[in-house]
Chain A
Amino acid sequence: MTSIITAIVFLILAPLLGGLIAGIDRKVTARMQGRVGPPVLQPFYDVAKLFEKEDVTVTPSQNLYILAYLVFMAVSGAYFFAGGDFLLVIFAFTLAHIFIVLGAYAAYSPYSYIGAERELITLMAYEPMVILTAVGLYMVTGSFYISDIATSTVPAILYLPGVFLGFLTILTIKLRKSPFDISTSHHAHQELVKGLTTEFAGPVLGKIEIAHWYETVVLLGMIYLFFGFNPVLAVVVIALAYLLEIFIDNTFSRMKWQWTMKSGWGVAAILGFLNLVIVYYYYVGV
């Protein structure tokens, strides 16, 4: 029963929280660059405006794919906050991303094609580390269920520091921050004219933004799992992690896709896998 309530609370509050985080992100970014920056509520104004615009669609099927992206993102997030199976959450999450890639492919534009290809590459780059995160949390807490992992008294971070650092690295990719914002980004709009979202305008683009807000909340929720033993500490770490991501966003230039691949798989192999091996021999093995 409580799981259904938390799922509904997520569905309602996550866009508000995600939009607020995006607004704070833009404000902090502006301050880091010595600017005043837009109001904190700017992302909400942007999306409200997008819903006021004319709906120009070249290929109608692209809108269906974007709707599926939003729905799957919301559903996988709701399942995450309802305390469901972590693996299923990850698979639904990936499926949501596949839908936005399909949407970009359906749009028949060279820009969105390249954006879609880059999105597939980033998807490929971060996916191993996400799986290793789930596996690592399972090895330490003995369950794949979010409800068990989050309420576990085992200090997961002490056993999984490598996995956590690896997760922070792929968080940069997933939040579309520099140096890994190759498929779409809020900065440098001239390059690939925003890639993946080139052919989306008006209300459809608004839906992509809302889905991204859901995604941000779920990703930050995943950080919580490492600190489930101490909720206050978890919230502090989530705030610090996001600030770190903004800092990285502002201090790095964009890298090539090869570098995204190497970083994603590199951290999965070195930090993630090595950490799991150590946990296996010294913790589970005993």
Chain B
Amino acid sequence: MAYLKKSPWLLHYDASSCNGCDIEVLACLTPLYDVERFGIINTGNPKHADVFVITGGINEINREVVKNTYEQIPDPKVVVAVGICACSGGVFRECYNMAGGVDQVIPVDVYVPGCAARPESIIDGIVKALGILEEKRTAMKETERQHGN
């Protein structure tokens, strides 16, 4: 059953964002957009999360932090890179301390471009991620079944 799609809890991590994308992510939670009507809750805890939303590019300092946080999220999980910096590093791409986009460290499922990404496109990206989440769950069930037999 597809309960995962009905109750995605998301973890928002600010890698090295300028706060532009962050406030847009938080804007999704305000009464105007109200993503809680889709069952989306912003948790602060990777162990409770299903969707990992990252804003900002990865630098050398938070590389390990992002990796560690990602590994603490129980399967099935999806990663959404919000903003152009998270997608590719953006204008900071060539900086000496930047590793680049989020996909340099962990696998990214959905890219939401924009500077800053608009709340509508963030919601769109997360809804797209829910489809991938469901696929991952089916794949996980399948491997579990094969190992069981």
Contacts and interface: CB of A to CB of B under 8 A. Distances in A.
Interface in B10-62: 31, 34, 36-39, 41-45, 47-48, 50
A45 B41 CA distance: 13
Interface of B: 1, 3-4, 6-7, 31, 34, 36-39, 41-45, 47-48, 50, 72, 74-76, 137, 140
B3 A191 contact: no
Given A189-B44, A201-B74, A202-B74, A38 B37 contact: yes
B47 A201 contact: yes
Given A45-B7, A52-B3, A200 B44 contact: no
Majority-rule SS of A interface residues: loop
Contacts of B36: 26, 30, 35, 37-38
Nearest to A186: B41
Given A53-B76, A56-B74, 6 more contacts: A30-B37, A39-B37, A46-B7, A56-B47, A189-B41, A194-B48
Contacts of A37: 34, 36-37
Given A30-B34, A53-B74, A54-B76, A45 B44 contact: no
Interface in A123-159: none
Interface in A205-223: 205
A262 interface: no
Majority-rule SS of B interface residues: mixed
- Interface size on A, as a range, is 20 to 34
| Shortest Cβ-Cβ A-B pairs, 7 listed | A201-B47, A48-B3, A193-B45, A190-B44, A45-B6, A54-B74, A54-B75
A259 to B, nearest CB: 23
Interface in A19-49: 26, 30, 33-39, 42, 45-46, 48-49
